[in-house]
Amino acid sequence: MSSALKTSPSVTAQSLLSSREVTRAFSFFETNANAITDEQILICSIPASPFGERQRAEYLSEKFSELGLTEVEIDEEGNCLGLRKGTSLSPLLVVSAHLDTVFGPETDFTVVRAGKRLLAPGIADDGCGLVALIALAQAIQNQKIQTEGSILFVGTVGEEGEGNLRGVRHLLTRGRWASKVDAFLSFDGPGVDRITNRALGSRRYRVEITGPGGHSWGDFGLPNPVHALGRAVAKLAGYPLPREPRTTFNVGHIEGGASVNAIPEKAAMDVDLRSGADAELQRLDSFFRRAVRQACDEENASRRPGDPLLELKLELIGERPSGETPADSQFVELAVEATKILGIEPRLDQSSTDSNLPISLGIPAITLGAGGTSGSSHTLAEWYDPTNREVGLKRGLLVILSLVGLDHK
């Protein structure tokens, strides 16, 4: 796949800046700053919980059609797609942002203005990415920017949490564009300097331990699922972390038991394991799975002779591959150049985003900030400030065009 990129009609950001269409697109971002923010408010007011992105996808697909994109559809997984065809289909660049938020269906998604700030769950993550797709498609269409390669705009489902990258996974492994994509660009969150080229890998588990249960006094000695879970948590908390690469673990949710004087029949926990390097993630993963088994064995070993055993169910509920688009690859270099030419010092970064999946498939992929600033991400107090958003959009446009190329007939 990377060879496809090498043969792409890539052009330098410098030469793009001298193009009339690009200059006009830049002014479009400046003069339409308020309209872009109004659009962000509209799209972020539409609820989009995990596995509940349909309404937002429908809104985005109407937008794509209005803007004159072709092949507009919502695919089998729920992603919203629209093509901006160039002179040829290849190189084909996916430009994406994720439709979903981390917030459940009971959430109030109303956007409130407070001074310069917009307040709403998901307003920045990934509301600013979604509106960047619309603004970029609008600028390219309005200024009639003729590209050599083509751009597939995609609002993906399932980027967050238990969505487990299901949208981008479908798009790139089973969808009808799967084998045609040459490069992947995602806008996720705010900022103008970040270039996420390294994919932070993670594995997530649900652990469920069941036993016979009984009376806390009368049946004492029966194996206790909560005690077993406690033993497992203690082992994990004692994991010998490496100094490098950054590696983390989290028991994020725990449940079990019915009453203070009953031996529980069940205990469960959700665990998140992450590492900057695959080998380290594997090591943590094996340690964790062994720790959970040992914890159950120890609890079983302490039971009265003849009592039933605890049963352990270990379910992988999330897996994000790690990897990288190398810093010296053409795609990252184009992004670095586009950032510098706007007077900004680029910052290469590692994170867990939709780009993890293409990177694992060998498709060059990076994630960029969509401009502006934000805070309190993944909380109900999330905010976004669109001041200077246009810088992020300009950078995005330069990266896109330097990859798919301009066609001057």
- The residues that touch Zn ion, with contacts defined as CB under 5 A, are 125-126, 188
Return the ∠ at Cα 84 (arms to 139 and 3), rounded to 5°: 115
CB 348 within 8 A of CB 327: yes
Half-sphere exposure of 233 (CA within 13 A, CB side): 20
Place of tokens 């446009």: 397
Sign of the alpha-carbon torsion through 360, 366, 372, 375: positive
2: its two tokens? 């990377």
The nearest distance, CB 333 to Zn ion, in angstroms, is 25
CB nearer Zn ion, residue 322 or residue 353:
353
**Maximal C-alpha separation, the chain:** 87
CB nearer Zn ion, residue 37 or residue 101:
101
Q: What is the residue-wise DSSP string for 154-199?
A: EEES--SGGGTTHHHHHHHHTSTTGGG--EEEEE-SS-SSEEEEEE
CB nearer Zn ion, residue 188 or residue 285:
188
CB nearer Zn ion, residue 127 or residue 149:
127
The nearest distance, CB 45 to Zn ion, in angstroms, is 18
CB 382 within 8 A of CB 44: no
Other beta carbons within 10 Å of 122: 30
The nearest distance, CB 43 to Zn ion, in angstroms, is 14
The nearest distance, CB 95 to Zn ion, in angstroms, is 15
The nearest distance, CB 98 to Zn ion, in angstroms, is 6
Per DSSP, 238 falls in state T
Measure CA 37 to chain center.
Answer: 22
CB nearer Zn ion, residue 98 or residue 203:
98
CB nearer Zn ion, residue 126 or residue 299:
126
The nearest distance, CB 249 to Zn ion, in angstroms, is 21
The amino acid occupying position 267 is: A
